[in-house]
Amino acid sequence: MKRLILTACLLGFYSTGSAQAACNSQYEPGVDWSGCFKERLMLSNRAAPEANFSKAFLAGTTFSRSGMSGSNFSEAELMRVSFTGSTLVKANFERAYGSRISFKKANLREVNMHKAELQRSNFTDANLVSANMLKGDFFRSLFVNSDLTNANLKRTNLSRTTFTGSILTGAQFSESYMYKARFEGVDLSGAVGLTQDQIERVCGDDKTKLPAGLTKPKKWTCD
């Protein structure tokens, strides 16, 4: 029995030491910082594709203008993190959470944000072509001038988001919650899955274009 307890203790010691060593490893392509506490780091202009940040705490960290395609941020905490101008093609943000994250001018083509909770985030000028944002929460986020061609926004919380100047051809909005989402001057004619009930709850203007079969409200929600 004593031998078993000692063995278990030693295994726990080496396991913890191994995890700590991984968290202290150099920031480089393929780095594994899963579950690590990495707060307020300045990592701009440094490439780290295929890196693993799953369940990591990254609040206040800056990854601006970095090459991070294929990196894994699943279930990571991303409060006030900056990815401005970064390349995140096919990156995984599934179930990631946080707010006030900057994705301005980021390349997020084919990114996975399934069930991500990224409220009040900034996607201005971002490339979100074919992004998977199914069941995500993007309350009060900015998608100004972003390209959401063929993006999956089904069952997504888009309340009070702003889509001014965005491209939405092929974007899917089935069952999305869109209360006071702003579409002034936006072409929604190529969007998929929109209903008249959704349109009655969003904000638009005379320049807003709707899909065939839908009509503009007598009074937009934000009027």
Q: What are the pLDDT digits (tens) for 118-161?
A: 999 999 999 999 999 999 999 999 999 999 999 999 999 999 99
Which tens digit of pLDDT belongs to each residue from 156-195? Answer: 999 999 999 999 999 999 999 999 999 999 999 999 999 9
**Three-class secondary structure of residue 199 per DSSP:** helix
Residue 148: which of 185, 191, 184 has the closest Cα? Answer: 191
Beta-strand relationship, 97-99 and 117-119: parallel
CA angle 145, 155, 61 (to 5 degrees): 55
Whole-number pLDDT of residue 5: 41
**Three-class secondary structure of residue 122 per DSSP:** strand
Contact present, 97 and 79 (Cβ < 8 Å): no
Residue type, 70: G
Q: What is the pTM of this model?
A: 0.89
